Structure 1
């Protein structure tokens, strides 16, 4: 921000006092040298204001700039409910700004409907085929050949990330970006329902800490086998699954023995997913690390990962895509739908210590 004339004058006087040869100058306020300080300070102030304005106008619009503008978007709240006057976007000091005159701090924050935003530069193929299979990206070089600015946005509802599902809100945001963006830039904006995610885990647990009904142990063990089952094993598993219709698995399995309302493995999975930053990568190793820290867990094994971008309710439901062989990927919507999350856990007692006795 440009200095005031008084600040510039003070700095000139400080430098003047350092020069012993100028000590003989009169202290009169009408002295000619005092007038020249004022003239020079004013000229410097005008110069700094011009430079400041030019800097605002010529500021490079980086990807981070687009993100800042998105998070600063206001969905018009009347300045005065009785007047019906909506918040307007005005050109001020070299940039577009929202006129928030008359609004309180809380009203200003409430009008910012964009709570999460991620901006990247993507290739044209991604724009034309946004629902392609999840994949690992080893280098952004191969995905940044075309200058298309890709903006993913989301809001928060009931303390959960959610898409902007009010049509006019997203339309207004797109119009706002179209108005402030650099001329000639292509901008692609999405706000989608969170991706579906299904996780399958085999977790060896401490039976002294976590509850497991003995009648369910063999079923969990058969389900956890990562190979083709033998004929007798498959027959046993089929019989178990048939019996589950009348005698389901004990709902307390996996809970703390001291508190059957606390499920450490499930809680660890949900906490980990909630803490992934918007448009951040789901990393299998990081999830396993989080589960490993849960109370009563000895060995967590993530056996299968399935995901799918969200579809409209009217669309034909699609099968989840098996992405187990991918170490990490970014959800298409930028986040996962926690309400649609499926976690299947095979709880197996950790008894390997007996081999050493």
Structure 2
């Protein structure tokens, strides 16, 4: 940030005081020649620093973080004036770059920023090139794997949840905005999708003094928790058991509180946009929940969201053997979250007596 004229003048005066040869300049009048020259030099230096600062700002390299910053600063549908015919903020060329003309707008620009979440990435060329390949194959892989493309994932906020930008003109306007401000020659791929689907299956050993488990459901949960192949008799017991109690997994003192389910939802909410789902981190958070003794994450399945215009459901992928992965949309749809928990009373301490 450029210094003010007063700051530069003060530094000149401090340096003058260090030079004994200038002690004769002791006239403190503001109209004295030497003070006028100090002011002239300070002003000239200030102008120079402002020019350098502006050039540095304009010529800053457009990194991935720059694309993210510009995306989050996108303004949609902000009225320029009270004139209803001017219902959008124009993008103008100013000081060497495209900028929004916010003349006449109030200070609350946040209400026009529809992009609340953004992640920008690209594919590293080294990840797809094999040095032993022929040149023709290398160039084929180069384009096939979209190397050199900037990927931008964006989402908005609806209530307390992350959501895709589902108003067609909003996403269209944002794409036009990026096309106008991006570097020449760069390819940009923009997506805004519904949150990915997540299905979890867990065995949770709980403190029976804190967590409610209906005694009639214990054998059912124990059979379902087994990792071995079940016998025909055991399968029949599961199929004939019927529905389990809705209170299973709740706190005995607070029947409307389900610590395990709450811990899972809070963990998923706190994953940053386009951040990785890490199985170990999820288990760690469940372990901290009240009444939980041993959490075991048995199975994890995920898929992209179903396209409303598509009659077929998306393929559900079993990712239980993967320690971490990033949801394709950048986040999970918590309304579509499916969690199956086998609540088993923790009684191992009595088994050893």
Q: State the TM-score, normalizing by the size of structure 1.
A: 0.88
Q: Does 1:262 align with 2:257?
A: yes
User: How far apart are the structure 2 equivalents of 1:39 and 1:297?
Assistant: 73
User: Greater shift after overlay, 248-257 or 311-320?
Assistant: 311-320
User: How far apart are the structure 1 equivalents of 2:41 and 2:314?
Assistant: 73
Aligned residue in 1 for 2:318: 322
The Cα of 1:123 is off from its aligned counterpart by 5.7
User: Greater shift after overlay, 76-85 or 318-327?
Assistant: 76-85
Aligned residue in 1 for 2:285: 290
The Cα of 1:105 is off from its aligned counterpart by 3.0
SS of 1:105 mapped into structure 2: coil
- CA contact 1:3–1:45 (8 Å) conserved in 2: yes
SS of 1:221 mapped into structure 2: helix
Aligned residue in 2 for 1:179: 180
Aligned residue in 1 for 2:223: 222
Aligned residue in 1 for 2:3: 3
The Cα of 1:229 is off from its aligned counterpart by 0.8
Aligned residue in 2 for 1:158: 159
SS of 2:210 mapped into structure 1: coil
The Cα of 1:83 is off from its aligned counterpart by 4.5
- CA contact 1:254–1:265 (8 Å) conserved in 2: yes
Residue deviations 1:78-134 (CA, integer Å, cap 9, x gap): 13334432322223333322222333333x11001100011111269x9xxxxxxxx
Q: Does 1:274 align with 2:269?
A: yes
The Cα of 1:226 is off from its aligned counterpart by 0.6
Q: State the TM-score, normalizing by the size of structure 2.
A: 0.89
- CA contact 1:56–1:94 (8 Å) conserved in 2: no
User: How far apart are the structure 1 equivalents of 2:275 and 2:269?
Assistant: 11
Aligned residue in 1 for 2:77: 76
User: How far apart are the structure 1 equivalents of 2:314 and 2:89?
Assistant: 42
- CA contact 2:79–2:89 (8 Å) conserved in 1: yes
User: How far apart are the structure 2 equivalents of 1:281 and 1:308?
Assistant: 15
SS of 1:303 mapped into structure 2: strand
SS of 1:55 mapped into structure 2: helix
Aligned residue in 2 for 1:134: none
User: How far apart are the structure 2 equivalents of 1:233 and 1:37?
Assistant: 94
Point out where structure 2 has 5 or more consecutive residues left out of the alignment. 128-144
Aligned residue in 2 for 1:56: 57
Q: 1:337 aligns with which of 333, 336, 349?
A: 333
The Cα of 1:320 is off from its aligned counterpart by 1.6
- CA contact 1:201–1:303 (8 Å) conserved in 2: yes
Residue deviations 1:298-333 (CA, integer Å, cap 9, x gap): 111110000001121121113421111111000000
User: How far apart are the structure 1 equivalents of 2:26 and 2:286?
Assistant: 78
Aligned residue in 2 for 1:116: 117
Q: 1:94 aligns with which of 68, 92, 96?
A: 96
Aligned residue in 1 for 2:142: none
Q: 1:253 aligns with which of 248, 253, 256?
A: 248
Please report the RMSD computed on the Cα atoms of aligned residues, expressed in angstroms.
Answer: 2.0
Q: Does 1:239 align with 2:234?
A: no
Point out where structure 1 has 5 or more consecutive residues left out of the alignment. 127-143
- CA contact 2:206–2:344 (8 Å) conserved in 1: yes
